[in-house]
Amino acid sequence: MTRVRPADVRFYVDADLAGLGKLLVRLRPDVTYPGDPGGVVHARQRPPCPVAMPATLDDVWIPLVAAQGWLIITRDRHIQSRPAELAAVREHGAKMVNLTSDAAGSTWEQLRVALSINGQLLNARRASQGRLSTGPRWLECR
């Protein structure tokens, strides 16, 4: 019998990419999304997401996710123009990848974009010993 160990969650997929989040949690134990009940993938137990409701406001969930050191993957085109949300990103040092491309409309296209930047994300993690460095970081993928 395989021993199940705790997963090290590293990526948070925002509610505006729910299809992508639900797909990725089936493949990787280090991904979560709002409302994720947790689960076992590759003998790793992922706990329930601390953001229990997909409708949780950005200025509420961003501090929770940033405190975990997780990389946020979102498709929020307007986050930079919303003062409360932008303040939450800055104040809590959130790390965020924003899929702003019109081509990232479907779950398939979102997966394609996520895979295309996967190497960059992994390299950033390795350089910082598993957690991204402090301070806000922002990457837009068009």
Using one digit for the tens of pLDDT, what is the confidence trace for 58-106?
989 999 999 999 989 888 877 778 888 888 888 998 888 888 766 577 7
Instruction: State the pLDDT at residue 110.
Output: 76
Instruction: State the pLDDT at residue 112.
Output: 75
CA 110, CA 87: separation in Å to the nearest integer?
26
Instruction: State the pLDDT at residue 79.
Output: 78
Tokens linked to 102: 């019109």
Query: What is the rounded end-to-end Cα distance, in angstroms, of the chain?
Result: 45
Higher pLDDT among residues 79 and 50, named by residue: 50
Instruction: State the pLDDT at residue 77.
Output: 76
CA 44, CA 29: separation in Å to the nearest integer?
6
Instruction: State the pLDDT at residue 136.
Output: 45
Q: How far apart, in Å, are the Cα atoms of 124 and each of 53, 59, 120, 132, 136?
A: 29, 25, 6, 7, 14
Confidence of residue 141 (pLDDT cuts 50, 70, 90): very low
Which amino acid is residue 60, in one-letter code?
Answer: V
Domain boundaries, the chain: 5-141
Using one digit for the tens of pLDDT, what is the confidence trace for 123-139?
555 544 455 455 545 55
Fold designation for 5-141:
Rossmann fold (3.40.50)
Instruction: State the pLDDT at residue 124.
Output: 53
